[in-house]
Amino acid sequence: MLKSTRVSDPALYDIVARELDRQEHNIEMIASESTAPTEVLELSGCVFNNKTTEGYPGNRFQAGSHVADDLERLAIQRCKDVYGAEHVNMQPYSGSTANYSVYSAIMEPGDTIMGMRLDQGGHLTHGSPVNFNTKFYKFLSYGVDEKTELIDYDALAAMAKENKPKLIIAGASSYPRLIDYERMAAVAKEVGAYFLADMAHISGLVGAGVIPSPVPYADFVTSSTSKTICGARGGFIMCKAEHAKKLDKAVFPGTLGSIHLQAIAANAWVFEHLKSDEFKATMRQILANAKKLAEALTARGFRIVSGGTDNHIVLTDLRPKNITGKIFQNALEVVGITVNKNMVPFDPASPFVTSGVRIGLTSTTQRGLKEPQIEEIADIMNQVAAAPEDQKNLADCKDRAEKLISGFPLYPAGYFED
């Protein structure tokens, strides 16, 4: 691994080796994470990193871009084929900048955007006061019904009718259920708003066809490329053909500079891989594993927000266990299970403490864990929750977690040996 760096910069090599070791020996359950396939690792570090290119294929600012043109065209075509999109922009550096580019394509300062509340599942870029976009646009937030914990579409429609936003955003970071894109598109149409679906978290599941796609309904669809889609860190945007010109101009020169061609190369591989039986089987198993985890935790006295899950996320309310998200996250980290504390809808605790944790099933499923191992993880979590500050208990749980994950290598044996 890193054969030049190992010689020229041992201190840095050591940090990377430690991170590989951490990932290998931990059970990674951060919902936004995935494990990059070896091809993605290789392509992310390929010679396209050397090339500066701005503009679009056939119309570049730098000479020597004809091979980059072929690369970007290939990635775009593969993405279009998977999602059935009319137009694709592959240049965003991440899901966040993809959203910024859409805003800048269609919004004027002072215009109104409706997005999901951060404390009920939405994302920072959808209107959190700490995000810089709130300096330019007026954001309104819709949320979930207190009883069902599902998006309250009636309240959302009423808010849209009253406020006539220019843009309505669907999509979330910690919403474990399917979103009714058809219904939200109809609301947007009725009030004359654009409709953006941010599928950052779920684009792998959508690409594999195991959950419904927003693409037929939305004017714009944005995504990260490092979550369930399992690619290199980056982003992409799809839109209806009528918005293509405006969007491309907003991405470059509007919000971004030169293209991260090495990430596009890796993601071109990903878009082809999405069509494979292997990838589809992994995405199906993610859904099965998430359902299993929700059931197994419920059986052990945890409360699952909305009563279950339709995607890769199990949002778990810890109040029946009398512990906070912060305490549980820290205790699980000691044990070698990585999750993040997360607010549950109508959470009385602060975002720094929280009453819940968000658990994602992507990385574990990629490693080959199936229902029996997920049941064992739920049991370890239950043991941790019973005495999260008892060091002997945590040491025992750590043994159980290590034994479990050691049978499921992160990467093929010998891959990093040279």
Ligand X SMILES: Cc1ncc(COP(=O)(O)O)c(C=O)c1O
Residues near ligand X (CB under 6 A) are: 32, 94-96, 123, 125, 171-173, 198, 200-201, 224, 235
Cβ proximity to ligand X, 26 vs 94, nearer residue:
94
53 contacts 258 by C-beta, under 8 angstroms: yes
Burial of 221 (0-12, 13-18, 19+ CB in 10 A): buried
Closer residue to ligand X in complex, CB, 123/243: 123
* Shortest CB 96 distance to ligand X, Å: 3
Q: Give 55 or 231: the residue with its C-beta nearer to ligand X.
A: 231
Could you tell me the strand order of the sheet in which 340-342 lies?
303-304, 313-317, 356-360, 340-342
* Distance set, CA 328 to CA 57, 254, 342 (Å): 49, 43, 11
Q: For ligand X, give the closer residue by CB, 125 or 329.
A: 125
Shortest distance, position 92 Cβ to ligand X, whole Å: 8
Least distance CB 379 / ligand X (angstroms): 29
Minimum gap (Å) between residue 202 Cβ and ligand X: 9
The encoded tokens of residue 371 equal 């229902």
We find the least distance from the C-beta atom of residue 304 to ligand X, in angstroms, to be 20
Report d(CA 268, CA 246) in Å as an integer.
24
In angstroms, the CA 72 to CA 57 distance is 7
> In this structure, are residues 90 and 76 in contact, taking their beta carbons and an 8 Å threshold?
yes
Question: What's CA 322's distance to the chain center, in Å?
Answer: 29
Name the minimum Å distance from CB 351 to ligand X.
15
Residues 6 or more apart from 136 whose CB is under 8 A from it? 103, 107, 109, 110
- Ranked by CB distance to ligand X, the top (closest) residue is 95
Q: What are the helix (H) ranges across 109-242?
A: 153-163, 181-191, 203-207
> Is the distance from CB of 235 to CB of 223 less than 8 angstroms?
yes
Least distance between ligand X and beta carbon 95 (Å): 3
Nearer Cβ to ligand X (200/401): 200
d(CA 313, CA 289): 10
Which strand (E) or helix (H) includes residue 235? strand 235-239
Find out whether the peptide bond into 212 is cis, omega within 30 degrees of 0. no
Closest CA to 227 of 173, 176, 285: 173
Nearer to ligand X, 201 or 273 (CB): 201
Q: How far apart are CA 260 and CA 50, in angstroms?
A: 10
- Pick 195 or 296: Cβ nearer ligand X: 195
Q: Residue 257 Cβ, how far from ligand X at the closest point, in Å?
A: 17
In the bound state with ligand X, the residue whose beta carbon lies nearer, of 94 and 373, is 94
Cα–Cα distance measured from residue 238 to residue 279, given in angstroms and rounded to the nearest whole number: 21
State which residue, 188 or 221, has the beta carbon closest to ligand X: 221
Min. distance of Cβ 116 from ligand X in angstroms?
9
- Strands, E, within 10-133: which ranges? 27-28, 55-56, 59-60, 87-89, 112-116
How deeply is 84 buried, as exposed, middle or buried, from its count of CB atoms within 10 A (0-12, 13-18, 19+)?
Answer: exposed
- Residue closer to ligand X (CB basis): 32 or 342: 32
Bridge partners for 360 per DSSP: 313
Minimum Å gap between C-beta 415 and ligand X is 26
Residue 333 CB, nearest approach to ligand X (Å)? 20
Instruction: Give 101 or 324: the residue with its C-beta nearer to ligand X.
Output: 101
